[in-house]
Amino acid sequence: MNQASFQNMCDAYLRKKGYRNLVALGSMAGAEKTTPGTPDTYVPLADGRYTFVEYTTQQTSLADKIRKDIDKCFDESKTHVSCDLIEKIIYIHNSSNIHAKDDHELKEYCNSYSISLDIIGIDDIAYDLMQHYPSIVHDYLGIPLSTNQVQNIDDFIEQYDRNKTAAPLDTNFLFREKEMEQVDV
């Protein structure tokens, strides 16, 4: 997946996760291209602060790349926003090779500016998309939505219970002790 497609998919992912009013500075409108700028996307918050979002598809030297992108977020000449107006930085990458030490150091670095850092890797994105946002999988990755004809019982119950117009299956059987004794469970 190229950088522009990854960025567009991740913007859709963040919208599904509840982030509203995203401003995608790093995406060229009407084209599958990225544009230079920092941050790649930002979210204006009700209190006048911001959540900055950075994306990368880089596979090697990931911690160094993240640190450089964070430094750009802290550079007021690039963002035109002082650090005290940044509440959080979300960093989304499509690699699975960031070490716990690097994760900790990067979060501590942001914390020294009183800014929280969420690092979201490909494993978290893949699980979240599969479990909660299959339409993004279909729309951005071209993977057909399952017909759900073959599922394990727990997945079936979870999916069925999402339909708020049907009686839920995940309920407790109460006050029927005599009948339960007669059933071979």
The total of structural domains in the chain comes to 2
Range of the domain at 160: 153-182
pLDDT grade, residue 156 (50/70/90)?
A: confident
Q: At what angle do helices 134-141 and 122-132 cross, to 10 degrees?
A: 110
For residue 161 the two structure tokens come to 């219970």
| pLDDT tens digits, one per residue of 59-82 | 889 999 999 999 999 999 999 999
Q: Are residues 130 and 172 located together in one domain of the fold?
A: no
Q: Are residues 131 and 47 located together in one domain of the fold?
A: yes
| pLDDT tens digits, one per residue of 27-60 | 666 666 677 889 999 999 999 999 999 999 988 8
Q: Say what the pLDDT of residue 14 is.
A: 95
**Residues contacting residue 134 through CB under 8 Å, at least 6 positions apart:** 145, 146
Q: Are residues 24 and 55 located together in one domain of the fold?
A: yes
Q: Are residues 165 and 117 located together in one domain of the fold?
A: no
As a whole number of Å, the CA-based R_g of the chain is 21
Q: Are residues 58 and 26 located together in one domain of the fold?
A: yes
pTM of the model: 0.75
